[in-house]
Amino acid sequence: MTRTPLARLDGLAPASTTRPVANHAGRDLLVVFLVAALLTASCGGRSTPGQASPDIPPHIADIIASADGLPAEVLSDGEVTLAEIERSVLAYRACVEDEGVEIDQFDFDPFGLEGDISVSFVGRDSATVVRADEVSRECMAKLYEPVALAYEYLMPESEREMWSDFEKRIVECARAHGLKVDNFNGALRAFTDEMRELCEAVSATR
């Protein structure tokens, strides 16, 4: 699945962008792409692959200290795993639905090179658009952002190595298709949509 780049994590919070689309199977849809950066660098940049996690910066420490509910539970042991990331994603979805916003399609892919979460909501009138966007942002900030932002610094070493290997495979794939790139971020910048989708699929299954 190719996703159009709509936003990127700025180091503080995932962005939400709304776009009304045409009827699908007789239903009006509002598509909201929620882009969180498990793969792309935040403002401080990801730690060097294979090295120990860097000291937690003050803004992340504040997020951890102020976490409540599920994020507080997840962060309490000083470690965040991909399984816990997925748990927070499901909590975000449940939060949206509990607020009465109807979800049409939902996808979570931590290996997605263009973003982790994409979701479509039913409805396209202005009131529905505003309501869905507000609920989505609130649930994201409450349940997903604290966990996702802390993950870079609290992931277990085995997952740090997994991401390192994944990034190396992306670079290898880019070079195998004739791109002259030095690193993972360079590969992301150089990819066409078609090549991005190809390397994403190949690298995630190896």
The whole-angstrom separation of Cα 6 and Cα 16 is: 8
Return d(Cα 123, Cα 23) in angstroms, integer. Answer: 10
Domain ranges of the chain: 1-155, 157-206
- Our measurement of the distance from residue 82's CA atom to the centroid of its chain's CA atoms, rounded to an integer in Å, reads 11
SS3 state at 122: strand
Q: pLDDT of the chain along its 206 residues, tens only? A: 322 222 222 222 333 333 333 233 334 445 444 544 454 433 334 443 333 345 789 988 998 999 999 999 999 999 999 999 999 999 999 999 999 999 988 988 888 887 788 888 888 788 888 899 899 999 999 999 999 999 989 999 999 999 999 999 999 999 999 999 999 989 989 999 888 888 888 776 65
**Cα–chain center distance at 79:** 18
> Taking a C-beta distance cutoff of 8 angstroms, is the pair 60, 150 a contact?
yes
H/E stretch holding 12: none
